[in-house]
Amino acid sequence: MNYEFLKNEDPDVYRTIAGEQKREAEGLELIPSENYVSPAVQEALGSIFTNKYAEGFPGKRYYGGQRFTDEVESLAIERAKELFHCDHANVQPLSGAPANWGVFAAWLEPGDTVLGMDLSHGGHLTHGAPVTFAAKIFNFVRYKMKDVETGEIDYDELRELALKHKPKIILAGFSAYPREYDYAKFAEIANEVGAVAMADMAHIAGLIVAGVAKNPFDYGFHVMTTTTHKTLRGPRGGMILSRGEVSSPLKAPAKTIENLPTLIDRAVFPGMQGGPHMHQIAATAVCLAEAATPEFRSYARQILVNAKTLADALMAGGAKLVTNGTDNHLMLVDCMRSWGLDGKVVEELLDSVGITLNKNAVPDDVNPPFRPSGIRLGTPACTTRGMKEVEMEKIAELILQTVKIAEGAPREALKERSGELKKVHSDVKALCARFPIPSM
């Protein structure tokens, strides 16, 4: 983008943007929840729609001047419905957490129970972590993997928990789970106890619309939440997708599955949010159009190929992966078992050579959250740059090489090895120079 006005008006802010642009261009982005938007998405996000208040929904706004906001939000809604094979889409949530909150607010009363995945086994903060506000209002019960070597969910335990606690929502979704769910079993258990089957597909939405990951709606799920900025390659935003038609009753509708879309809309606005961010919604419409193309389907397939290649190469080099591999775009490395280093040390070490990933808990981690035992990494962003299997093997080599430099050495001794780290950093920059970021 051209920043001529910003350069003159606020050089301090411009300097930070230029610095971030250089960091992204010269570094390997392996955080699985991050990606690069297209130039078209970036243009829409910076568009004049940021000027407009549009409280309400298309055709039912509280302000005038809504012709084009209605058009662009309707475009986003229809594109989302077609891509995800659902009846209704609310594209106004500001991100993934507010999207999950929207479903909770629509369906639950204070004290109601949600059955979600344990955080240390791959679940998300919004699925009931005690530090969240949701955990103060609702009762969260957690299921786990039965076998961390294979990643299989303990569906027998899940059913027992559901029969015992009678949850109002059974939530299939993750932040750090490398395998695929058996959605039919989730839906079967939810139906048995009269719960809403909810899927949080923030991480793999792009894989779902491309047909390379299963769609929970095909297995009887009632509602799905997602972000738009991960594998969908859109702006930072969220969506709530559901089955059923929106009605416009004069009074609040009854809490029935059939009324879920209406309940969700009312929960998002006026229940939780005010004016939607129309520039964000415009950019979401663009990314959804891009996700409908054959090129995007090829991209999604390559994400999975790259992830498997990277996981195999890391394991061949001695890294211990949770579940011994991956079925999706991400993987977890148990750093303590692999190298005797915690995840924070490995994250900082790799950051020093231009490889960005994030520290992460492993199942039943005994280490604290800010110094967990593992790291989480994935392939969406590198795949957007055009990298393929050969580059994944090189990335694994660079990671293993960097960790080997520090393995067994006190942190203060790393200064003596700065030359070795600089050589790795130089190799990272050279690799990135061959694969420019599309929007830069």
pLDDT attached to residue 408: 63
Q: Where are the domains of the chain?
A: 44-291, 294-433
Give residue-wise pLDDT tens across range 362-398: 999 999 989 999 999 999 999 999 999 999 999 999 9
123 is in an annotated binding site: yes
List residues with catalytic annotation. 53, 55, 200, 227, 230, 236
Place of tokens 């000027």: 51
Is 417's pLDDT higher than 80?
no
DSSP label at residue 9:
H
| Residues of the chain above pLDDT 90, percent | 87
Stretch among 100-109, 127-136, 166-175 having the lowest mean pLDDT: 127-136
Band of the pLDDT at 129, cuts 50, 70, 90? confident
pTM across the whole model: 0.95
pLDDT attached to residue 415: 63
Q: Cβ(393)–Cβ(313) under 8 Å?
A: yes
pLDDT attached to residue 73: 98
DSSP label at residue 320:
-
Q: Cβ(336)–Cβ(348) under 8 Å?
A: no
Beta strands 374-378 and 330-334, pairing class: antiparallel
pLDDT attached to residue 401: 95
Cis peptide leading into 368, omega within 30 of 0? no
Helix, strand, coil percent content, the chain, rounded in steps of 5: 50, 15, 35
DSSP label at residue 170:
E
Closest CA to 360 of 328, 335, 326: 335
254 φ, ψ to 5°?
A: -65, 155
pLDDT attached to residue 414: 63
Give residue-wise pLDDT tens across range 29-47: 999 999 999 999 999 999 9
pLDDT attached to residue 120: 86
pLDDT attached to residue 131: 84
Candidate CATH numbers 2.60.40.1120, 3.90.1150.10, 3.20.20.10, 1.20.1250.20; the one for domain 294-433:
3.90.1150.10
pLDDT attached to residue 410: 61
Give residue-wise pLDDT tens across range 220-240: 999 999 999 999 999 999 999
What is the rounded distance in angstroms from the CA atom of residue 276 to the CA atom of residue 290? Answer: 22
Mean pLDDT of the chain: 94
Is 132's pLDDT higher than 80?
yes
What is the rounded distance in angstroms from the CA atom of residue 88 to the CA atom of residue 105? Answer: 17
Q: Cβ(205)–Cβ(227) under 8 Å?
A: yes
386 is in an annotated binding site: no
Neighbours of 79 (CB within 10 A): 22
What is the rounded distance in angstroms from the CA atom of residue 13 to the CA atom of residue 9? Answer: 9
Q: Say what the alpha-carbon torsion angle 336, 338, 341, 346 is, to the nearest 10 degrees.
A: -120
> Which two structure tokens, joined as six digits, stand for 45?
């996000």
398 is in an annotated binding site: no
DSSP string spanning 336-384?
Answer: HHHHS--HHHHHHHHHTTTEE-EEE--TT--S-TTS-SEEEEESHHHHH
Is 166's pLDDT higher than 60?
yes
| CATH number, domain 44-291 | 3.40.640.10
Angle (nearest 5°) at CA 110 between 104 and 112: 70
Band of the pLDDT at 196, cuts 50, 70, 90? very high
Q: Cβ(342)–Cβ(362) under 8 Å?
A: no
Is 250's pLDDT higher than 60?
no
Q: Tell which wins on pLDDT, 245 or 153.
A: 153
288 is in an annotated binding site: no
| Residues of the chain above pLDDT 70, percent | 97
Mean pLDDT of 75-94: 97
